[in-house]
Structure 1
Amino acid sequence: MNIAHYIDFTLLKPSLTEREIIEFCKTAKTSMFNAVCINSAFVPLVKQLLEGSTTKTCCTIGFPLGTTATASKVYEAIQAVKDGADEIEMVINLGFLKSQNHVSVLKDIVDVKLAIANTPLKVIIEISELNKNEVIKACEICMDAQVDYIKTSSGFSKSGATFTDVKIIKKTVRDMIKICASGGIDDYDTALKYIDAGADRISTSTTIENIDKSRQIRNTKIYTKYIETLQNTKTTEKV
């Protein structure tokens, strides 16, 4: 499987430099990753660096806490699209959700969705902060808001995705919304398992190769052992 088309290459650490962005974008273009995900200040630079490639520019808003005012999220999203963002990621307001203020959660998402029109919207639900019922409710709200993706984690909370979480989301949204698994996914085998569990995208800050190196290592060991066995057999026959 060509894993590159599933990868959202994330560059979200606060100390990120322009030099690092240039190198990351070069890697993303060479590897043909699906998208580069960055904070709004860097959208113009990333859009310029990715010009001529199939790799999209994805921008986070209300990041990483999701507790900024809806009007601020709307303004940031509109500006990001103007600057060239191909996709928008917003963080859900966890306080509203845990307060069971579901109307405010829905309005927060819908206002951003309407503001960016046809630009795809991903909603980060920060799954490590939610129990199963809250995960399901967050998914139901996202379906009502007609978002394009549910993303499991921002990378700034207690932990990232789990296979169980992705399966719960998939069972809830079925094929109505796509899923982006995020957090602690940094090798081919793990990424493949998340895709098998229902993820449509993998968000990671690690360069995941298209080839399965762990399987290559196992195959190499088997091959080496086979050669050793042949050599030992030949030595025995000579004796």
Structure 2
Amino acid sequence: MIDHTLLAPGATAADVAATIDEARELGVYAVCLSPSMLPVRAPGLVVATVAGFPSGKHHSLIKGSEARLAVEQGAAEVDMVIDVGAALAADYNAVLADIITVREAVGDDTVLKVIIESAALPDATIAEVCRVAENAGANFVKTSTGFHPAGGAEVRAVRIMADTVGGRLGIKASGGIRTAEFAAELIAAGATRLGMSASRAVLQGFPG
């Protein structure tokens, strides 16, 4: 369930190599890396990346181009950030067009996760953006970048996301997951994937 994540601005090639080694040791599903760090060799792991990260305030064509290049360089999954301002303004057509642009850029074989920054959105907006993401062809909705001042993953938001699109789309919780207890709460609320850099500490908190 884990995307072992390294998206720090100061990350070096050596940090990426260490993250991949740790991911393989821990037996996680994927590594999520900045697109500028691709291509990488990560045998046995799915390679994920981000687009429009972390603000989402990129032109849709830029997000699409960034995502397409990442896929050409080996990424199998792309986590794109929506324009949060458009969602707050209830301009759902703009959110839809943004996601569709990236979906078309990466093709149907790439797993597309849509980061909605749920901590910055009212409950009704979270639900509506999830419906928009589903209509646009996303595979997952994701809570957070982990960089927004409003905060990261919340059980409340995961529950809303799961109630809205659970069973049809994956639900990825990300941002501030540092303990097994919090991870377990998110999973119980409906999360099907967890994005975190503290994977070792979280896993050590689970029996067995």
TM bucket by the smaller chain? over 0.9
Q: List aligned pairs for 1:47-62, cutoff 5 A.
A: 48=41, 50-51=42-43, 53=44, 55-62=45-52
Look up the match of 1:113: 103
Look up the match of 2:85: 95
Q: Given the two structures, how large is their TM-score scaled by the length of structure 1?
A: 0.82
For residues 35 and 142 of structure 1, the distance between their equivalents in structure 2, rounded to whole angstroms, comes to 22
Q: Tell me the percent identity.
A: 33
Deviation at 1:210, TM superposition (A): 3.8
Q: Is the contact between residue 143 and residue 152 of structure 2 (CA under 8 Å) also seen in structure 1?
A: yes
* Correspondent of 2:205 among 188, 191, 212: 212
Larger Rg, first or second structure (1 or 2): 1
For residues 162 and 188 of structure 1, the distance between their equivalents in structure 2, rounded to whole angstroms, comes to 14
Deviation at 1:116, TM superposition (A): 1.0
Aligned residue for 1:44, secondary structure, equals: coil
Q: What amino acid does structure 1 have at the position aligned with 2:33?
A: I
Deviation at 1:137, TM superposition (A): 1.2
Aligned residue for 1:179, secondary structure, equals: strand
Q: Is the contact between residue 43 and residue 57 of structure 1 (CA under 8 Å) also seen in structure 2?
A: no
Look up the match of 1:73: 63
| Richer in helix (by share) | 1
Deviation at 1:212, TM superposition (A): 3.2
Look up the match of 2:73: 83
- Asked if 1:21 corresponds to 2:12, the answer is no
For residues 172 and 207 of structure 1, the distance between their equivalents in structure 2, rounded to whole angstroms, comes to 27
Write out per-residue CA displacement over residues 6-28 of structure 1, whole angstroms, 9 at most, x where no aligned residue. Answer: 11111011001111111111000
Look up the match of 1:130: 121
The runs of 4+ residues in structure 1 deviating greater than 4 Å are: none
Q: What amino acid does structure 1 have at the position aligned with 2:38?
A: V
Deviation at 1:70, TM superposition (A): 0.7
For residues 7 and 143 of structure 2, the distance between their equivalents in structure 1, rounded to whole angstroms, comes to 16
Q: What amino acid does structure 1 have at the position aligned with 2:199?
A: T
Aligned residues: 205
Deviation at 1:100, TM superposition (A): 1.9
Q: Is the contact between residue 127 and residue 153 of structure 1 (CA under 8 Å) also seen in structure 2?
A: yes
In structure 2, the gaps of 5 or more residues are none
Write out per-residue CA displacement over residues 11-63 of structure 1, whole angstroms, 9 at most, x where no aligned residue. Answer: 01100111111111100011111111111111203xx1x12x1x111010100
Q: What amino acid does structure 2 have at the position aligned with 1:36?
A: V
- Asked if 1:149 corresponds to 2:140, the answer is yes
Aligned residue for 2:141, secondary structure, equals: strand
In structure 1, the gaps of 5 or more residues are 1-5, 217-239
Q: Is the contact between residue 77 and residue 88 of structure 1 (CA under 8 Å) also seen in structure 2?
A: yes
Q: What amino acid does structure 2 have at the position aligned with 1:80?
A: A
For residues 134 and 154 of structure 1, the distance between their equivalents in structure 2, rounded to whole angstroms, comes to 17
Look up the match of 1:233: none
Q: What amino acid does structure 1 have at the position aligned with 2:6?
A: L
Deviation at 1:207, TM superposition (A): 2.5
For residues 165 and 58 of structure 1, the distance between their equivalents in structure 2, rounded to whole angstroms, comes to 23
Write out per-residue CA displacement over residues 184-225 of structure 1, whole angstroms, 9 at most, x where no aligned residue. Answer: 211222212211110001111112354536x79xxxxxxxxx
